[in-house]
Structures are given as C-alpha cells and as structure tokens.
Structure 1
Amino acid sequence: MRARVSWIVVLAVFLAFPPFQRERVEEMGFGEIFRIDRMRADPALTQALRSRWDAEATAFAFPWGHMIPSLEDVSRITGLRIYGQAVSGYTYPCYHDLAERLLDLPVERRSSLVPRVPLQESLGLFDVGKVAGESDDEHLGRLTRVSRRELASEPGAQADLDLRRFLVLFLGRLLFATRGGAVHCQFLPLLEDLSEVGGYAWGAAFLAHQFDSLGASERQTSTSGFFPFLQVWAYLHLPALGRGDLTRPGLVPIARRWDSRRDTRHLADQLERLQKAIDSYPYLDPYLGEDDEGQPWLVQARPYFGRSVWLHALNFVLPLHLHLCQRSLGLRQSVVEFPVRDRFRRPSRSFRGLHDTTNWRERAREQIENWERKGKAVDVTGEIASLRALLYSAVQDREAAHRQIAELRSELERVRGAGAGGASSSRSAGGSPSLLEARLAGAVLRAEEAQRHLEERERDL
C-alpha cells in the first residue's frame, strides 16, 4: 500500500506543476513514467520471483536456464533513459549543508536522510492521507489541487527549488524507493545543476537498484523501487502465469498496456500455484515484432542492448551478467552453473553505513570505464545460427515425414480397395492383401510416431 500511496503523492506534484516545469521533467527523461497508469502491487508474484533470484549471479535461476531483466527491458517497459553518463559521483556522510542550500530543508548532522513530511509539505502536501470514501482518482485530484497552490508559476529560483524538491521525492520515494519511508539524499549532488540531470543513465541506475532489492530476503512480499517494472517484466516473459491483463495494447512504453490481475486467494495458495507454473515454464522472447514507433528513447538506447556491463547507482555498482541469459537461450539445462563473483566488491547496501566522503568515479574507475565503453557485447551469433540450422533441419524432417505418411496412407487405401474388389494384383506381386495391409498399417503407425517426435523436437528448438 505504501508504494501505491507514494505513486499518487509524486504524481500529484507532477500534475500540479505548471507546463514549463513539466517540460523540464520531460527533458530529463522522466516523463514516460508519469504516463503509466497506477498499478496494483502483486506481492505473490514478487515473492515467487524473488525466491528464484541468485544474488551472486545477479540472475533468476530457473529450471530451463537463466533469465535476467535487461537494459532493453527497462527501456521498453518504463521509457527511462539507459544511455548517457553513469549515475556516479560523490556520496557524503552528512548532507546538512547541501540540503539547506539546494532544498532549503533541514537534515540532521551525520545523516543522509531528508525528513519525508517536511519534504512533502514544502510541495504543498500537508495531509496526503485518503479521506473516508475517497477513490484513488478523487484522492489524486485533491492532492494535485492543494499542491498547485504552493508551487511557483513562473521560472526562477523558487521554481528551481520546487523542481529539486520534487526530484528528491520522485527518486527517493518512487524510482529508488526502499521498503521503509525514508528519503535518501544520495542523489542530491547530481541535482545541483538541473541542466545536467537529463544526461545521466537513470534507467541503468534503476536496474542496479532493482538487482540490489531482489537480493534481499525472499520472505519479503514487496520489492523496492518502481514495482510495476518487475511485474510487467513477468507479464511479458512469463505470460502463462496469468498475473496481468493486457487492457491497452499498442501503448508505449509497454507498462502502459498492462493492469495487475486481482487474485483473491490466500497468499500461500497463490505462491504454490506460481512456483509450480514457473518450474515448467518455457522461455519466450516478448519483443519479437515490436517496433520503435513512438519511442524516441529507444534510438539512443539500442547500442546498450545485448551487452554485459557494470550498472551504477552511486554506491551500488552491480554487474549485468547478460551472457548467462544469452548462453542459456531458453534451452533446458541439467545443471545451472554460476559465475565466480568479480573481484570488485560493492559496499554494504546500507547507505547510512558510509561514514566517509566517497568519490565513486574514482573508487569504481574500472567499472565507470566499462560503462563508457558500453560493456562487452554478448556474442551468441554462432549458437543462434546453429540452433536455426537445427530448427530448419527439424522442419524439413517433419515435412518429409508428413509426405511419407500421406503416401503410405494412399497406398494402404489403394490396397484395401483392391482387396475389397477381389483384385489379384497384390497376389501377383507375391503376397496376400491382408498381409500387405498389415505391413502398410504398421508403417503408417511408425511414421506417425516419428512425426510426433519431430514435432516435439521442433517445438523445443
């Protein structure tokens, strides 16, 4: 419920902004998020997926192989920018002076947290709770109206202050939210120059945050960050789980197309059903046939697709092991192997545990350079070509078997017709009609069995 309320609160401020402020948010690459309809959280699906996450491999380990949310998934599902500078820079043990200067809000000494209530009140949201009997739309409309009265209507210093406060709320309570209600100041240094905000790869940082969140205890029934991403990812890659409704086909980004399906069964019953379904699920490529129309962010994002690369979200520096997923190619594996963890160790996920000023562009220099080179391309051309050749061969064999069955059936019908009419052509060939019929019938059964095996092989490939 907290995630849904946070979404409404952040969306209310965005809608309350005057047009010039909304245009600035759009230019930063965050506009598509606010076109996604509010979605119901699905704790059963989240928990089922989390139980398959291996934090060392940063991948889902399924019986058929590895699956990994990728940069292409982030780009297509959310519309966030995955290109640009790595989200990296300085982190500090105390943000008191910076928060006073950039937000005009108090932050306690030796703290990295901005008080959530004063932050919301600075944007005009003094009471964000729902009134009894109030619908979500009525709640959103009321918050939007009261926020609009407090926001600057013209460009200037106050408008910049409003925008930074909004971005801290958006990043800390929605995009990079944690399970608690805290709002971190960690991204505040990157918001000092508002003209530079759109140059960062916020979508890649979001994916790093998502990986870190999935590595938490599997007993948790929620995930940090923008929860619709993982749900829509499952709707696309594991559609037979039946957890989403495609209510608005064709809209982009893809998250706009989906609603969470309501399931009234007990959480334990939902989990049991999902775990069984996941165990027997085949791998699918959900983007076959998808074009780039209406999605300009994909043009610059494409060079980052299909690459294993280090992801950066300041003090989170995590690998995207895309080669694991590509190597599996959806084929069933008898043994699931995990890679040895890279020697570079990320710090604790507790941001408050960092007591020194840290320059992440220096500390993670090698990983920053890796990002700037766009990582390493995942070369599976040979494997794909081999699989395509096998598939082509299987199709040819299946078609040949189909023709053979048709010929055998035709010959069997001819022999049966000849026997019924008293013809002696088969006898003249040296055999009785009944014996020849039996041999042909047996050949038809064997050919049909072979065809079934070929069809199964074709489906597997």
Structure 2
Amino acid sequence: MREFHGCRLIGVYARHSCRTKYLAHVNTLLTDVQKTFIQTTPFAWLLSIDTDIKMCRKLVLQLCNTWLERRGGFEVRSIFIPFTKLDVCLGLGVRGNGEMFKLFKEEVDCHTRRLFDTNDVSVDNVYEQLQNCIKGGEVADVCRLYLLLGLSEFLFPNRGGKVHLGLFELLDDLSCIGKYNWGGVIYEYLVSSLCDAALCVGNAQKRSHCHVDGCIFALQIWAMEHVLFGHNKLAKTKTCIPRILHWMHVRVGVKQKLKKPFPLMK
C-alpha cells in the first residue's frame, strides 16, 4: 500500500507521497557494475541516498499557506521570496534546459513498459521488479528500473502511487535521457500541485485535506536555504551540488525552528 504523510493546520491536513524508502534500500543491493552503469546517467546522485529522507509535514503545510501563485514564490513575514526552476535544478542536480516531455499519456508501448505485465504500474511494482532484476537481469534493465524508481518514488510521486506513462519511453534509450529538461518538468509538476494545495488550505471549510504531488523535498531544500538555515554555519560547511547531498540528513521538525519565520504556526 502507498504511504501518505499528513499534518493538520487550520482545519486542513497536508499530505504528500514523496519518499526515498525503497531507493535507500535498493542502493544497498546494487552491484558495483550496476552502480557504474547508473553513474553514467544524469541521476547518479540518487546512489548517494542512504536513508528515507524526512519531509517536515508542518513545513509543507506552512508553504502551502504562504504560496503566492501569481508571483511564483512565498510570503514569509511580509517578505516575498521567489521559488524558481533554478532552485529545483541546483537542489536536485538536474538540467534546466533542453527538450520538454509529457508525463501524462494514455498508452505507451516500449521496452521499459514491457518489463511489467500489469495494466497499471505502481511504485511498489517497480520496487519488486527491480529487486528481482538486480539478481540476474541485464545491467541496462537494472538501470532503467532504478531510474524509474527514483523518478516515481521521489521526483514525480503522486497520491495514487502510479508511475506516469510518459516516463517509460524516456528510459528506453539511456543515451538520450540527458537531453531532457528535467528541471523544468519537475518544477512545473510540483508548482501545479502546490497551487491546487494552496487553494485547499485557503478554503478549509470545503476540504478536509490537501495533497501536494511532486518532489516536496525540493521545497524543503529551498526553505532550509532561504528561510530556516540560510545564515547559519550549517549552510556554509559544504558547497555541494546538487544541494540535496548537503541537506538530506538534516532534519526539520522542531517547532521552534519553524515558529520564527512562520509565526502563525501552532
């Protein structure tokens, strides 16, 4: 079953499905040959994930509550701070230009899709298939399944836990995945859902919860660098690109850390 994580504020629950639980476990199973192959892709940094990265649920809800759709950023203590595609690219180490692609398709027939015999492929299906493939499958297929897991579990997660059909075709030709504008698509997917969630928070009487699809941790990286720890020595100890390598072990959850920039927090 797909996991949901929620937090309540002003009568509304905020939920998301962004996690790295499966990815962290798979990273302990891969062989050196398989890792070397994955390192030739733009997502080699996924191999550094060794924990189920924790997203601060209260922070997610506060960001939904302070999001300004028309300006593309957040209002924190009456100060507007933009959230841009560049923030996503630096945070996740993905390309910010190149060819755009579509996540949503009605039907796909390609090699990566044929690795599954189910009508709807879920993150759980990818995790199970990848574990089987690691034991004796083709190295290229292990790489395809690994990237599919990282994309579906962490970068493009959704409330149903389903794999977007548009991702399968991209992974057939591994030599071409570097040409796509991953940062642009990740950003648009996340912001689109953030806008919907912000509306839900603003209409608490009509909805009991909101759900933010996409890579919530990109927002958390932004918040840690621009709001929470930006002038702290913690943010200056290392210069890591992508920035996730610096922040993935830093926990945000202590109420006092959030109460100063978000005074309405209870």
Structure 1 length as normaliser, TM-score? 0.45
Q: 1:271 to 1:261 in 2, by over 3 A?
A: closer
- Matched residue, 2:82: 68
How much has 1:210 moved relative to structure 2? 1.9
Higher Cα Rg, which structure: 1
Query: Secondary structure at 2:196's aligned position in 1?
Result: coil
Q: Which among 238, 255, 275 is matched to residue 244 of structure 2?
A: 255
- Matched residue, 1:294: none
Q: Distance in 1 between matches of 2:211 and 2:66?
A: 15
For residue 98 of structure 1, what is the amino acid of its counterpart?
C
How much has 1:237 moved relative to structure 2? 0.9
Q: 1:105 to 1:45 in 2, by over 3 A?
A: same
Q: What is the total number of aligned residue pairs between the two structures?
A: 239
| Structure 1 outlier segments of 4+, above 6 Å | 269-272
Q: Which among 139, 157, 169 is matched to residue 177 of structure 1?
A: 157
For residue 223 of structure 2, what is the amino acid of its counterpart?
A
- Matched residue, 1:228: 217
Q: 1:117 to 1:33 in 2, by over 3 A?
A: closer
Does 2:179 align with 1:199? yes
Q: Which among 29, 34, 51 is matched to residue 21 of structure 1?
A: 34
Q: Distance in 2 between matches of 1:201 and 1:62?
A: 30
Q: Distance in 1 between matches of 2:87 and 2:37?
A: 25
Q: Structure 2: which 5+ residue stretches go unaligned?
A: 5-15, 202-208
Q: 1:17 to 1:62 in 2, by over 3 A?
A: same
In the TM superposition, 1:280-359 aligns within 5 A as: none
Q: 1:4 to 1:209 in 2, by over 3 A?
A: closer
In the TM superposition, 1:383-422 aligns within 5 A as: none
Does 2:130 align with 1:123? yes
Q: Which among 82, 106, 111 is matched to residue 117 of structure 2?
A: 106
Query: Secondary structure at 1:213's aligned position in 2?
Result: helix
Does the CA contact (< 8 Å) of 2:96 and 2:184 recur in 1? Answer: yes
For residue 244 of structure 2, what is the amino acid of its counterpart?
A
- Matched residue, 1:12: 25
Does 2:49 align with 1:58? no
Does 2:197 align with 1:217? yes
Q: 1:275 to 1:214 in 2, by over 3 A?
A: same
Q: 1:256 to 1:107 in 2, by over 3 A?
A: same
Q: Which among 28, 36, 61 is matched to residue 47 of structure 1?
A: 61
- Which one has more relative contact order, counting CA pairs under 8 Å at least 6 apart? 2
Q: 1:49 to 1:12 in 2, by over 3 A?
A: same
Once the two structures are superposed, residues 362-386 of structure 1 have per-residue CA deviations (whole angstroms, 9 ceiling, x without a partner) of xxxxxxxxxxxxxxxxxxxxxxxxx
Q: Distance in 1 between matches of 2:211 and 2:251?
A: 15
How much has 1:15 moved relative to structure 2? 4.2
Does 2:245 align with 1:238? no
Does the CA contact (< 8 Å) of 2:19 and 2:54 recur in 1? Answer: no
Structure 2 length as normaliser, TM-score? 0.72
- Matched residue, 1:425: none
Once the two structures are superposed, residues 381-433 of structure 1 have per-residue CA deviations (whole angstroms, 9 ceiling, x without a partner) of xxxxxxxxxxxxxxxxxxxxxxxxxxxxxxxxxxxxxxxxxxxxxxxxxxxxx
Q: Structure 1: which 5+ residue stretches go unaligned?
A: 126-146, 153-157, 279-461
Q: 1:47 to 1:245 in 2, by over 3 A?
A: farther
Q: Distance in 1 between matches of 2:161 and 2:102?
A: 24
Query: Secondary structure at 1:252's aligned position in 2?
Result: coil
In the TM superposition, 1:148-163 aligns within 5 A as: 148=134, 150-152=135-137, 158-163=138-143
Q: 1:47 to 1:76 in 2, by over 3 A?
A: same
How much has 1:71 moved relative to structure 2? 3.2
Instruction: State the superposition RMSD in angstroms.
Output: 3.6
Q: 1:56 to 1:221 in 2, by over 3 A?
A: same
